[in-house]
């Protein structure tokens, strides 16, 4: 009988499933086999569901012979007791037990993974402050009998490859960032100001990396001279070689330099780091191509409909989550990431604190990155974030966690419903998947791969899922972003708008670098381009909405962003 709070078993859903499985069976004929894993060998014991130990702790090697020995011991005990059910329990130990568990699943064993923290708490619950392999085995076995643990499933090659590729890319990105910091440190000694001035464009672009390898220091630039430096820049593909060489010579002339005899080791270190940077960039491009290839075959491709969610973010998130069939809903993913809040209640007092952080650390990190990205340009999640921070007074970090949890729920609906999903907020949750993937691959230099292989396959997947490509908004109802600035001291003076800016009849979102609603109204009343358009249309320039940016009594705060909403009857140019 279901209670009012929805619970049916004291051990929750896991205990309910185990009770349904064992109900009506002789518990003396149900075997429980806990395993404590190690790198070179594992330990196990065999007991029945009543707690009677049938075979005390035995050790077997982590290879094919050890797996065969384990199987023989379990089958021997099962034959002696005429068991009808065998439950194998273990705690995750990284990759030590990964291959062994695959072998157990191939032999049709029922394997349950229990949380290591739960094993620790179960061991200490008996007021035993020692830690031994025998105590761990007993704790694991008791947790399995209590219905705790997650059923282990066979590794799906697609999700496994997606997870490993995402982790490899993340590792390469971190290593490249570390290399860039080291290069910065070296170049601050050899050529101070070169990377911060960006004379050669991107500090870690092809031209700048080649310059650091070929010249590397201000002393060598001075010895080479302007003419020779200009010829080298021309050969390297720099368009304005004369101006760039003059800027480099001027920058080098004002530097405090090391003695030339002290540059040799630093110059060699820079060359090695530049080569390492190029190698890591090549690895990252390779992994990003593989991520796009894997992502197309999973429901994660539908996450590209969300603004600020790209191929790396979607692939890394789904790779850590795994197959959706392993979860009952989005709440399970949030709980696995450890993003649920702590709660303590006793009698009439209750307390709710921060998140537990007990769960999948990589998944939690991935969701944190996604949450910070979404509040930047995705208006749906950004509005939710501002509502929590400004109206509810929530801590910004806690609000980002709430945004990440909201993303999990939205992404669950998107991946489950696919083409039938109705986005709750306009175009920011309904981006063009094909266009987004094509632009991403074009950016990393894999446009040909998209045209020949990934593009046709993507169209097949989307068509099978009932995908409807979002229709472009008509120009007479186009939503545009007005790139204008309002000066803090004199709101009526605004920088001229580009003449080629197209304005729509309805402009719901205006991104102001500095400003308030009153200043936006001032722009509409005073700007010549807008005023002329308004007069021709015979419309109004009424400002609606609430101020969303920081201001002071004297006016807007310089350098802070202000996002606001207004309506202006402005025709298309």
- Are 209 and 187 in contact by the 8 Å Cβ rule? The answer is no
Within a 10 A sphere around the Cβ of 393, how many other Cβ atoms? 8
> Nearest 5°: phi and psi at 100?
-65, -40
Provide the residue ranges of all domains of the chain, joining segments of one domain with +.
12-151, 161-287, 298-343+353-431, 475-573
Q: How far apart are CA 457 and CA 66, in angstroms?
A: 44
The tens place of each residue's pLDDT in the chain, 573 residues long, gives 445 456 677 767 777 777 777 787 888 889 999 999 999 999 999 999 988 999 999 999 999 999 999 999 999 999 999 988 899 999 988 889 999 999 999 999 999 999 888 899 999 888 878 899 999 999 999 999 888 888 888 888 999 999 999 999 999 999 999 999 999 999 999 999 899 888 888 899 999 999 999 998 888 898 889 999 999 999 988 888 999 999 999 998 888 888 877 888 999 999 999 999 999 999 999 999 999 999 999 999 999 999 999 999 999 999 999 999 888 899 999 998 999 888 888 878 888 888 888 888 999 999 999 999 999 989 899 999 999 999 889 999 999 999 999 999 999 999 998 877 777 756 678 889 999 999 999 999 999 999 999 999 999 999 998 888 877 654 444 333 343 333 223 333 334 433 333 333 233 333 333 333 444 455 555 555 555 555 554 444 433 333 333 333 333 333 333 333 333 333 333
State the fold for domain 12-151. Answer: Nucleotidyltransferase; domain 5 (3.30.420)
Contacts of 512 (CB under 8 A, 6+ apart): 484, 485, 486, 519, 520, 549, 561, 562, 563, 564
- DSSP count for the chain of H helices, then E strands: 21, 10
Query: For position 147, what pLDDT does the model report?
Result: 86
Q: Quick one: 4 exposed, middle or buried, by C-beta within 10 A (0-12, 13-18, 19+)?
A: exposed
> How does DSSP assign 338-374, residue by residue?
T-SEEEEEETTEEEEEEE---S-HHHHHHHHHHHHHH
For domain 161-287, the CATH class is mainly alpha
- Report which DSSP code applies to 494: B
- Are 141 and 34 in contact by the 8 Å Cβ rule? The answer is yes
Q: Which helix (H) or strand (E) holds 409?
A: helix 396-417
pTM of the entire predicted model: 0.76
Query: For position 503, what pLDDT does the model report?
Result: 33
First to last CA, the chain: 68
pLDDT 10s digits, 543-560 = 333 333 333 333 333 333
Query: For position 204, what pLDDT does the model report?
Result: 93
Three-state DSSP at 89 gives strand
Q: How far apart are CA 236 and CA 247, in angstroms?
A: 16
Q: How far apart are CA 98 and CA 454, in angstroms?
A: 32
Query: For position 279, what pLDDT does the model report?
Result: 97
């Amino acid at each position: 009988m279901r209670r009012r709070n929805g619970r049916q078993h004291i051990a929750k859903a896991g205990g309910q499933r185990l009770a349904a499985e064992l109900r009506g069976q002789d518990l003396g004929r149900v075997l429980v086999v806990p395993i404590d894993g190690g790198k070179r060998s594992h330990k196990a014991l065999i007991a029945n569901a009543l707690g009677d130990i049938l075979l005390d702790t035995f050790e077997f090697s982590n290879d094919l012979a050890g797996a065969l020995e384990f199987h023989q011991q379990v089958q021997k005990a099962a034959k002696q007791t005429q068991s009808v059910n065998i439950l194998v329990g273990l705690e995750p130990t990284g990759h030590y037990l990964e291959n062994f568990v695959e072998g157990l699943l191939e032999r049709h064993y029922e394997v349950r993974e229990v949380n290591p923290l739960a094993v620790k708490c179960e061991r200490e619950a008996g007021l035993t402050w020692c830690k031994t392999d025998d105590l761990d085995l007993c704790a694991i076995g008791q947790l399995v009998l209590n219905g705790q643990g997650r059923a282990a499933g066979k590794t799906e090659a697609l999700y496994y490859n997606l997870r490993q590729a995402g982790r490899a890319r993340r590792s390469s990105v971190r290593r490249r960032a570390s290399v860039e910091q080291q290069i910065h440190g070296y170049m601050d000694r050899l050529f101070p100001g070169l990377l911060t001035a960006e004379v050669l464009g991107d500090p870690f672009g092809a031209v700048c990396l080649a310059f650091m390898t070929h010249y590397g220091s201000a002393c060598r630039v001075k010895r080479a001279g302007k003419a020779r430096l200009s010829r080298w820049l021309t050969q390297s593909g720099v368009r304005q070689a004369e101006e760039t060489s003059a800027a480099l010579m001027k920058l080098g002339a004002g530097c405090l330099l090391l003695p030339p005899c002290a540059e040799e080791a630093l110059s060699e270190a820079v060359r090695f780091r530049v080569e390492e940077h190029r190698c890591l960039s090549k690895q990252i491009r390779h992994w990003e191509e593989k991520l796009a290839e894997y992502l197309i075959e999973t429901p994660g491709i539908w996450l590209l409909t969300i603004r600020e969610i790209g191929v790396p973010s979607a692939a890394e998130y789904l790779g850590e989550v795994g197959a959706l069939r392993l979860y009952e809903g989005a709440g399970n993913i949030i709980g696995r990431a450890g993003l649920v809040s702590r709660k303590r209640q006793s009698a009439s007092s209750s307390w709710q604190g921060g998140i537990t952080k007990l769960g999948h650390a990589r998944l939690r990190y991935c969701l944190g990155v996604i949450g910070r990205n979404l509040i930047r340009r995705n208006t749906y999640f950004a509005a939710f974030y501002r509502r929590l921070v400004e109206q509810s007074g929530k801590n910004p970090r806690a609000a980002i966690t709430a945004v990440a949890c909201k993303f999990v729920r939205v992404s669950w609906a998107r991946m489950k419903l696919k083409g039938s999903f109705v986005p709750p907020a306009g175009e920011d949750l309904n981006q063009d998947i094909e266009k987004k993937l094509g632009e991403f691959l074009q950016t990393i230099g894999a446009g040909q791969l998209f045209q020949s292989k990934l593009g046709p396959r993507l169209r097949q997947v989307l068509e099978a899922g009932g995908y409807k490509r979002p229709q472009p908004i008509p120009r007479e109802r186009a939503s545009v972003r007005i790139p204008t600035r309002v000066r803090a001291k004199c709101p009526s003076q605004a920088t001229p708008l580009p003449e080629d800016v197209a304005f729509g009849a309805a402009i719901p979102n205006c991104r102001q670098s500095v400003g308030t609603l009153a200043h936006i109204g001032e722009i509409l009343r005073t700007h010549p381009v807008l005023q002329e358009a308004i007069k021709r249309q015979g419309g109004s320039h009424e400002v609606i909405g609430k101020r969303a940016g920081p201001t002071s009594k004297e006016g807007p705060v310089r350098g802070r962003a202000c996002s606001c909403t207004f309506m202006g009857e402005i025709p298309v140019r």
